[in-house]
A and B are shown apart, each in its own frame.
Chain A
Amino acid sequence: ETGVTQTPRHLVMGMTNKKSLKCEQHLGHNAMYWYKQSAKKPLELMFVYNFKEQTENNSVPSRFSPECPNSSHLFLHLHTLQPEDSALYLCASSQDGTGNQPQHFGDGTRLSIL
């Protein structure tokens, strides 16, 4: 139990579907992150929210849309995805967004695009 919960754990969707990934942290942290993890590749940072404000968007395609309604919840809305978007999507949180605090990760959502 890492204190960061992601749902669903697995998701299969077609390219024309719309779905959302959910992340919730119970650690009282103020920064939350979305990462993409593909096999044998480094973690790719997608979005960062610090005190509910988006502070980072690493040139992510617009078919990925994040939402952070409060410091405990983070969503990733998906629409019109491509096969190359199949990956493990990890959510993480940290005390703040300064970078030198350890990040606590959820178990991820394994996404498969048909």
Chain B
Amino acid sequence: GQNIDQPTEMTATEGAIVQINCTYQTSGFNGLFWYQQHAGEAPTFLSYNVLDGLEEKGRFSSFLSRSKGYSYLLLKELQMKDSASYLCAVLDSNYQLIWGAGTKLIIKP
């Protein structure tokens, strides 16, 4: 079967750095997405990785290793507004999106 694993919940301190991991086992791979979802709001697109390596976008970076079936989202200089759920999703060989259950990130002052 197809599976996306990410931690259920993480806690970090304002101003610090946090890494949210995502591992996947899917039938084929055509890219990996990260979305942010604040409580009671719409998921919003953060990043899309299809090639190995690190992509940086401001305070947020996303890394992909296709050989290891692994990605992470790195958040730097954490702010209180970064408290949200972070969803990992993989596009399989049929171009179907397989979603993880999300990681709830709690930022403490």
Overall SS of chain A's interface: loop
Number of residues in B with C-beta < 8 Å to the partner? 24
Interface string of A49-69 (1 = CB under 8 A from B): 000000000000000000000
- Contacting pair B41 A107 (CB below 8 A): yes
- Contacting pair B43 A99 (CB below 8 A): no
In Å, the complex CA distance between A106 and B40 comes to: 11
In Å, the complex CA distance between A66 and B104 comes to: 31
Interface residues on A, range: 10 to 19
B54 CB-CB contact with A under 8 Å:
no
In Å, the complex CA distance between A41 and B42 comes to: 16
Residues A99 and B42 in contact in the complex (CB < 8 Å), given A40-B8, A41-B101, A43-B87:
no
CB distance from B35 to the nearest CB of A (A): 8
Which residues of chain B have a CB within 8 Å of any CB of chain A?
4, 8, 30-31, 33, 40-45, 48, 50, 87, 89, 91, 95-102
Which residues of chain A have a CB within 8 Å of any CB of chain B?
2, 4, 40-43, 45, 90, 98-100, 102-108
